[in-house]
Amino acid sequence: MVKVERTLPAPASLLTESRKENGNYALIDVVQQLRQDFHDKCYVCEMKNLQDPQIEHLLPHKNGKYKEREFDWKNLFWSCGHCNSVKNQKKYEGRILDCCEVDPEKALSFNIEMNDVKVLVKNSNDEKAIKTARLVEEVFN
């Protein structure tokens, strides 16, 4: 996981879609800007040129129950299907570092040992860093 510079302002369709009954947060301007900002890499595993890219909500919107999260540009992340489904577990809800706001490499160190990905937390009191480390290890191992 690396720091990502998110382009502002948000793609225009998010505001107009958020006002519709069944709006779509994945229109072409959103998809293109996410692909570009994230360098077409999954924000969790950093796999590049995804075949099946998905728009991941850092804070879950629960099928539109939280509309403000569903259409919040700062809550949308570029992800592969595998990482999206692993991260979509209750234990990670609201507990993952926002790689657009903080530099994950300042909180975590990523190591590969004998084909095992080990993620070390630099500050043992940093709850989000701890959960993020577990998430990255879970998607790889």
Minimum distance from residue 2 beta carbon to Zn ion (Å)? 13
Minimum distance from residue 36 beta carbon to Zn ion (Å)? 18
On the question of a cis peptide bond just before residue 11, with omega within 30 degrees of 0, the verdict is: no
| Total interface residues for Zn ion by CB under 5 A | 5
List, in sequence order, the alpha helices (H) in 19-102. 28-37, 67-70, 81-87
Q: Looking at 16-24, 56-64, 77-85, 90-98, which segment touches Zn ion (CB under 5 A)?
A: 77-85
By CB under 5 A, is residue 83 in contact with Zn ion?
yes
Which has the closest alpha carbon to 76: 65, 89, 60?
60
Buried b (16+ CB within 10 A) or exposed e, 92-107: beeebbbbbeeebeeb
Which residue carries 């360098």 as its tokens?
39
Minimum distance from residue 75 beta carbon to Zn ion (Å)? 18
Whichever of 44 and 76 has its CB closer to Zn ion, that residue is 44
Return d(Cα 60, Cα 66) in angstroms, integer: 8
Whichever of 17 and 56 has its CB closer to Zn ion, that residue is 56
Binding mask 28-67 for Zn ion (x = CB under 5 A): --------------x-xx----------------------
By CB under 5 A, is residue 4 in contact with Zn ion?
no
By CB under 5 A, is residue 136 in contact with Zn ion?
no
- Going along 19-138, which residue ranges are E strands? 54-57, 76-79, 108-113, 116-121
Where along the sequence are the contacts to Zn ion (CB under 5 A)? 42, 44-45, 80, 83
